[in-house]
Chains A and B, each alone.
Chain A
Amino acid sequence: DSGVTQTPKHLITATGQRVTLRCSPRSGDLSVYWYQQSLDQGLQFLIQYYNGEERAKGNILERFSAQQFPDLHSELNLSSLELGDSALYFCASSVGRTTGDTIYFGEGSWLTVV
């Protein structure tokens, strides 16, 4: 158990809909990351927050947004969903913002868009 908690574990929704994925980082971790894992794209970095502020942005679509709240939990919002958005979405956390920090991954949220 990494200490990173993600909900829901599984989600099935229709095209055009909007979903929110939730993440609680490990206790004491200030950085939260979101990754998307799919068969064709592999593991893609989406976005990172540090202590409530956006720190780095990766291949995140404009239809997607994220935020980190004062209690450090984070949400990833996916809107206007398309079939290709079906993937495993990981949240991860680390202590600080230094790049040598170990990143701890949650077990992921499986999103299926039908």
Chain B
Amino acid sequence: AQSVTQLGSHVSVSEGALVLLRCNYSSSVPPYLFWYVQYPNQGLQLLLKYTSAATLVKGINGFEAEFKKSETSFHLTKPSAHMSDAAEYFCAVTHTGGFKTIFGAGTRLFVKA
């Protein structure tokens, strides 16, 4: 069975600093991996996804994530945080041949001025 662990329920960074949100997955077969963002009072929207093509995936709003099979990780990064990045971020996994997308518990990102 697949699962997702997001390390850190809250992350706080200064504006302009590096954003690093951690995600580790467990899957017995090759996974599809996703990062979604949820702004206050809104639904989730896709930031980026990994579907076994390039291991470095670029998404919207300057975010990117790298799939590392050896570490079973799919960490989300952004070189320079902006105030508008403050939101909750969810990592999710589905495995090929499966139907359920499993979401992590989420990481709330705070950006300080």
Contact = CB atoms under 8 A, between A and B. Distances in A.
Interface of A: 2, 4, 33, 35, 42-43, 45, 48, 55-56, 58, 90, 92, 97, 99-100, 102-108
B86 to A, nearest CB: 18
Contact of B46 (A48, A58, A102): A102
Contacts of B43: 2, 4, 90, 92, 105-108
Interface stretch (B10-18, B65-73, B89-97): B89-97
A12 to B, nearest CB: 17
Contacts, number: 60
Nearest to B106: A42
Given A43-B90, A105-B43, A105-B44, A99 B106 contact: no
Interface residues of B, number: 25
Interface string B26-59: 0000001010100001111110010100000000
A103 B100 contact: no
